Amino acid sequence: MQDRPWWLAAALSGALMVMAGAFGAHALEGSLAPRLVAAVETGVRYQAWHTLAMLGVLAWRAACPRPGQRLALGLWAAGMLLFSGSLYALALSGLAGLGLVTPLGGVLLIGGWLALAATAGRAQSPSGST
């Protein structure tokens, strides 16, 4: 199974997402400034959507592998690490400088969507028509 590492990454991202959401909702609520709790919630939300997107692309790859699908997966994985990870680290450490990493993660997430669009645009139906 050549996509095993991607399935593992998506599964671990899902587990981390649930843990971060629960931690943010229960352990951090009341002990952090509301803006920092909101930062965790934003990180969880973006991680959730991109983890689901990864699962969708992996299912598509299983049925119809295309060049570009792995690029989208890689950009999303890196984007989640930088975007959501920097928001989690910002909330836990309070280091405002970590907020400089967040936009870079966002650019990577957008890049993943653009890679997916390009891949889908190049894909042909089984009959050969686009």
Calculate the alpha carbon distances from 108 to 74, 83, 117 in Å.
9, 9, 14
Q: Two tokens at 9?
A: 């990454």
Give the global pTM. Answer: 0.90
Nearest to residue 90, comparing CAs of 24, 40, 26, 44?
Answer: 40
Q: Which residues contact 75 (CB under 8 A, 6 or more apart)?
A: 108, 109, 111, 112, 115
Q: Is pLDDT of 106 > 90? A: yes
Q: Please tell me what DSSP assigns to residue 97.
A: G
Calculate the alpha carbon distances from 28 to 12, 17, 24 in Å.
22, 15, 5
pLDDT digits (tens, 9 = 90+) for 37-95: 899 999 999 999 999 999 999 999 999 999 999 999 999 999 999 999 999 999 888 88
Is residue 47 a contact partner of residue 84, using CB atoms and an 8 Å limit?
yes
Q: How confident is the model at residue 128 (pLDDT cuts 50, 70, 90)?
A: low
Q: How confident is the model at residue 130 (pLDDT cuts 50, 70, 90)?
A: very low
Give the model's pLDDT for residue 127. 55
pLDDT digits (tens, 9 = 90+) for 20-50: 998 888 877 778 888 888 999 999 999 999 9
Q: Is pLDDT of 122 > 60? A: yes
Q: What's 48-80 look like in SS3?
A: HHHHHHHHHHHHHHHHCCCCCHHHHHHHHHHHH
